[in-house]
Amino acid sequence: MLFESDPILRTIKQIAQMVAALAGASGDVPDDLEVDDALGDAYLGLLGLDRAFAESLTPDGLLRMLHDPAQREALVELLLAHGDLLAHRGDAAGASRQWARARAVVAQLDAPALAAELEARDA
């Protein structure tokens, strides 16, 4: 599986798992600093940019940096996990912003599973 062989994609999956652990308070719950560090590492590894700079780019700008379909889907997963983390921290506006960015990326991909995942956040 691609997530197992690519260290960047594996990191993004781990971030999603850490955020889920925070939200559900089950299993080994990471601290916020650990999640923030992993999030920063994932932005840097996937895009070659620090998190703050990546957040300043439009979704189209981010997509232009990635040509591999798996990396583009990983970008969506990263934006979703970032939004979930912000939601967990009570930052509804920040979460909505990240989810909107993910939605803009998904609109340009053929990724029905990711589109469905986004719809679940709208419910």
Domain containing 20 equals: 2-122
pLDDT of residue 123: 59
Q: What is the pLDDT of residues 22-76, one digit of tens each?
A: 666 555 556 677 888 888 989 998 999 999 999 999 999 999 999 998 899 999 9
Q: How many domains does the chain have?
A: 1
- Note the pTM of the prediction, 2 decimals: 0.83
Query: How far, in Å, CA of 43 to CA of 47, rounded?
Result: 6
Q: Which residue has the higher pLDDT, 121 or 47?
A: 47
pLDDT of res. 1 = 42
Please, is 19 exposed, middle or buried when counting C-beta atoms within 10 Å of its C-beta (0-12, 13-18, 19+)? buried
Question: What is the C-alpha to C-alpha distance for residues 23 and 4, in angstroms, rounded to an integer?
Answer: 24
Instruction: Please state whether 29 falls in left (phi above 0), alpha (psi between -120 and 50) or beta.
Output: beta
